[in-house]
Amino acid sequence: MTPHYWQLILYKTRADLKMEAARGYMGMLWWVLEPVLYMGAFYIIFAVALQRGGENFVPWLLTGLVAWKWFDTSVRMSLTAIMSGKGLMSQVYLPKVFFPAVVILKNSVKFLVTLVLLMAFMLIYGLPLSWSWLAVLPLLGLQLLLISGVGLTFAALTPLWPDLKLLMNNVLMLMFFLSGVFFDVSQLHGWLAWLLSLNPMVHVIQAWRDVLLHGQWPDMLKLSYVLILSLAMLALGQYLLKRWDRLYPRLA
């Protein structure tokens, strides 16, 4: 892809973020307020009302939730990204990666705000600042790669097989419950543990917890699996988008 299209993706991402902010009177405040309300709801339910979980249960839960939400929202929006761009793509030629890329970048910017808030919350909560927080940047990169791989692949497939949208809604819900957001995957054994370990988000969430909560470096072997899977899906997604580049504008 030429630098022009990269510039265009960045400009459109910025424009979409600005547009969202301009929609309400509170503007960019919502980028902060929304994750605060989201995390606040879980904090109130689990820590205040139910008094559930052991020590650090709330930061543990929130870490899983926000990492999952970044993945989930980006993939869901990628599913419909190309078909929402139908009007545009029938007027001008655009490489179709443009549409999911904008959606993914937009969600990533929002996630960054959430992550900063989460880290601030952890410090206020009394968790120690650790050297392992340095791993946040590579971990961000890895999850972005995973999201892009899954997002581009399904963005490419869904316009041709619209049933995938419904299927993915259910798959994502199942993955949510099986990604260890609510329970500790390392407690499981046997075939169930093996099955769950196929889900890359299990390892990504585990890594975020290791880095942010436990002050330790993530499991490199498991993350290598995530990396390879992400790169393979990214290549597949780009291949499919290129292959059907001039077919999408014909779809009804």
Partner 1 sequence: MNPVLTLENVGVAYRRGRSPWRGEPYWALRDVSLTLRQGETLGVIGRNGVGKTTLLRVIAGIIEPDKGQIRNSGVSASMLSLQVGFVPLLTGRENAILSGMLLGAPKNRLEAHMEELVAFAELEEFIDEPVASYSAGMRARLGFSVAMQADPDVLLIDEVLGVGDVAFRKKSSDEIHRRIRSNRSVILVSHNIGMMRDLCDRVVWIEKGVSKMQGKAGQVLDAYEAATRRSS
CB 11 within 8 A of CB 17: no
Q: Please, what is the minimum distance in Å from the beta carbon of residue 14 to partner 1?
A: 9
> Of the two residues 215 and 249, which places its CB atom closer to partner 1 in the complex?
249
The residue from 66, 89, 104, 201 that contacts partner 1 (CB under 8 A) is: 89
- Residue 245 CB, shortest distance to partner 1, in Å, is 8
Is 163 near partner 1 (CB under 8 A)? Answer: no
* Residue 11 touches partner 1, criterion: CB under 8 A: yes
**174 vs 186: CA distance, rounded Å:** 18
Q: What is the CA radius of gyration of the chain?
A: 19
Residues contacting partner 1: total by CB under 8 A: 25
Residue 4 in contact with partner 1, rule: CB under 8 A: yes
**Smallest separation, CB 74 to partner 1 (Å):** 21
Q: Is residue 92 within the footprint of partner 1 (CB under 8 A)?
A: yes
- Pick 160 or 193: Cβ nearer partner 1: 160
Residue located via tokens 């099986």: 178
Contact pick of 8, 28, 32, 188 for partner 1 (by CB under 8 A) = 8
Q: Which of 93, 125, 177, 182 binds partner 1 (CB under 8 A)?
A: 93
- Binding partner 1 (rule: CB under 8 A), the pick from 37, 40, 90, 195 is 90
First to last CA, the chain: 26
Contact residue for partner 1 among 1, 23, 34, 169 (CB under 8 A): 23
- Spell out the residues 6+ positions from residue 78 whose beta carbon is closer than 8 angstroms to its own: 100, 103, 104, 150, 151, 152, 154, 155
Closest by alpha carbon to 209, among 108, 151, 141, 122?
122
Only segment of 1-9, 177-185, 187-195, 222-230 that touches partner 1 (CB under 8 A) = 1-9
Nearest Cα neighbor of 35 from 66, 59, 64, 74 is: 66
CB contact at 8 A, 155 and 237: yes
Give every CB contact of residue 53 below 8 A, 6+ residues apart in sequence: 46, 47, 60, 61
Query: From residue 114, how far is each of 111, 120, 177, 249 by CA, in Å?
Result: 5, 10, 21, 36
Binding site for partner 1 (CB under 8 A): 4, 7-8, 11-12, 15, 18-19, 22-23, 88-94, 160, 162, 246-247, 249-252
